[in-house]
Structure 1
Amino acid sequence: MSENPDELPAYLKDRIERNRQKAIAIKNSKLVHHPYAKKEIVSIDKTTIKIGATKYKDTGGGFLLEEHPDQPDENNLPLVQPEAPIIEPDRPQCRDCKKLFATSWLFDTFDCKCCDECKESDTYKLITKTDAKTKYLLQDCDLEKREPPLKFITRKNPHNVHWGDMKLYLELEVEKRAFEIWNNAEGLEEERERREEKKVISKTKKYNKQLKELRMNMRSSLYDRTSAAAHSHEFVEEVYNEEDDTYSRKCTTCPYEETFEKM
């Protein structure tokens, strides 16, 4: 190809012109003056420079901080640590040792104001939901519906991992809820005794009923049904037996006697 520019193809001439204009634009951009270029720059120390009549502090972060005449030199400022405001709800007092604490597992989990140092006491034992209902005579609604609902954590059942997760409550809170329902510890104990007595009565009635059924079956087996087919009983008025809650009646023409219950 010829080196004479006049003999170059038109597309090459256009490319050369575009490159020349681009080079001129880059050169002109580098000639832009710095805003402080017309002012006298004096270095006072390693961190302070003076540009014109204004002092600037080199922050070391890539920019200069202007110093005002009425602003004291930060190098001469006393290092005073301001006291943090004490906000009582943010730093509760431990109910046992009476010390203020910033963090506590019992406080975060159960809203119980006890520090981590005191939480190992037997006072803060956890109890399963089943034991809470049995020991303190509570129902599900007492734990979960009554305001405020008691907080709990869930753990895997140690007896079988395939069973559902256990709910663990703070026994201190469960006991407090029971005292609210049964008035106090004495009321809780009275209710426990009443239920035990009711359970004994129920078992006694069940036993007496089974015994009575056994006696009736024995009487039926001793009764001669062949003679009964030709005999029609004529009963006297029935008698109520209060001791075992039954009724009995006798036939007026034979020794037959029957005992029965009324539903």
Structure 2
Amino acid sequence: MSADAVDDSPHDDSPDIQESEPKLTKAQLARIERNRQKALLLKQARLQSRPYPEGKPDKHKVKAPPREIDSGGGFYIEEDDEALQNVHKKIIHPEGAVLAVDNLVCDGCGKEFMESFLLNHFELAVCDICRQNEEKYGLITKSDAKKRFLLKDCDFDQREPALKFIIRKNPHNERWGDMKLYLETQITDRAMEVWGDEEKLEEQHEKRDQNREKSKQKKFDKRVKELRMAVRSSLWRKDSGSHEHDFGEETYDEDEDMYSKTCKSCGHVMTYEKM
């Protein structure tokens, strides 16, 4: 190839142009920094309002108070979301053990029963049907029991075991205080413990009746003596108006249990008793 040959390859006679990023001014850089700081502040504010990411519970969130529901039994219960979820679930309880209950046997009719008036108050195994026999299972007041069975207060409370009783209002007058009612069968048993048998109890009744009669007779004799002394003293004062007696020494009659004095002048005898 000769030197005059034409070179078909393109030639760029202009100088090389180097691509370079445009430079930012100071105002632009300051605006960018302000926007960045503003974005950081907004991010921090969002984090403070929602410290936890989505899906996690917020422990600091205030829970609304539970709603009260009428239970239908006279009181209110608080509504619980977790409890409401289990309302319709079927609760299965394990079967309990079967307890065998031994019924008591009535001493009167021999039938079984579970509870009764005499059992609860007097610890006597008698059903309520047999209790209707008042002659056998009647009640008696403490004063009547002391009079009929000659018992003392210590026989009711201090002698073991102490007798059971119930308290009732006095039917005659409420101001007289409450009455203690005892079971007559238990009073009879206690009287047999004290006296031994019915014969000794009757002997005690007779003995007390005799002592009571003697006491009455003694009081009567004393009253008669007082009247006799009053009459004799009045007669003696009546006779002393016309004559003044001069009595001698005093004499005593053991058979009559009387004392006497004789006037020395007229022979008048004055008899009297010393109380």
Gap change, CA 1:127 and 1:234, over 3 Å in 2: same
Aligned to 1:103: 115
Cα shift at 1:82: 8.1
Correspondence for 1:32? none
Do structure 1's residue 218 and structure 2's residue 231 form an aligned pair? Answer: yes
1:27–1:182 CA distance, 2 compared to 1 (3 A): closer
- The residue number in structure 2 matching 1:77 is none
Secondary structure of 1:147 counterpart: coil
2:175 aligned partner: 162
- Per-residue CA deviation, residues 227-252 of structure 1 (Å, 9 max, x unaligned), is 7855133223x12247xxx4333437
Q: After superposition, give the CA deviation of every residue in 1:113-159 in whole Å (9 maximum; x if it has no partner).
A: 21112111121111111111112111211111111111111111112
Structure 2 unmatched ranges of 5 or more: 1-34, 59-88
Match of 2:217 in 1: 204
User: Which whole-Å CA distance do the structure 2 matches of 1:82 and 1:61 have between them?
Assistant: 19
Partner of 1:26: 56
State the match for 2:253 in structure 1.
239
Distance 2:262 2:117 in 1: 78
Q: Assess if the C-alpha contact under 8 Å between 2:247 and 2:263 holds in 1.
A: no
**Distance (whole Å) between structure 2 residues aligned to residue 61 and residue 159 of structure 1:** 60
Look up the SS of the partner of 2:167 in the other structure. strand
Aligned to 2:9: none
Q: Is the CA contact 1:235–1:252 (under 8 Å) kept in the aligned structure 2? A: no
Alignment partners' CA distance in 1, 2:209 and 2:36: 118
Q: Deviations over 1:176-227 (max 9, x none)?
A: 1111111111111111111111111111111111111111111111113457
- The question of whether the paired residues in 1 share the 8 Å contact of 2:247 and 2:261 is answered with no
Deviations 1:3-55 (A, max 9, x none): x8954896x75552034332446179xxxxxxxxxxxxxxxxxxxxxxxxxxx
In 1, the alpha carbon distance for the partners of 2:247 and 2:168 equals 70
Contact 1:104 1:116 in 2 (8 A): yes
Q: Is the 8 A contact 1:94 1:101 kept in 2?
A: yes
Equivalent-residue separation in structure 1 for 2:123 and 2:160 (angstroms): 15
> Where does residue 16 of structure 1 map in the other structure?
46
Identity of aligned residues (%): 38
User: 1:60 — aligned with what?
Assistant: 90
Q: In the alignment, is residue 143 of structure 1 matched against residue 118 of structure 2?
A: no
Partners of 2:245 and 2:57 in 1: CA distance: 138
State the TM-score, normalized to the length of structure 1: 0.67
CA RMSD of aligned residues (A): 3.5
Q: What per-residue deviation string (whole Å, max 9, x for no partner) do you get for residues 92-112 of structure 1?
A: 321111223211210111111
State how far apart, in whole Å, the 2-side matches of 1:205 and 1:163 are: 34
Aligned equivalent of 1:78: none
1:97 and 1:118 in contact (8 A); partners too: yes
One-letter identity of the residue aligned with 2:131: K
Q: Which residue type is aligned with residue 254 of structure 2? A: Y
Aligned to 1:54: none
On the 8 A contact 2:137/2:183 being kept in 1, the answer is yes
Please report the TM-score for the alignment, with normalisation by the length of structure 2: 0.64
> What are structure 1's unaligned runs of at least 5 residues?
29-58, 66-80
**One-letter code of the match for 1:26?**
K
Q: How many pairs were matched up? A: 207
Residue among 123, 129, 145 paired with 1:132: 145
User: Structure 2: which amino acid aligns with 1:176?
Assistant: D
Which of 92, 104, 107 in structure 1 is aligned with 2:104? 92
* 8 A Cα contact 2:195 2:201, kept in partner: yes
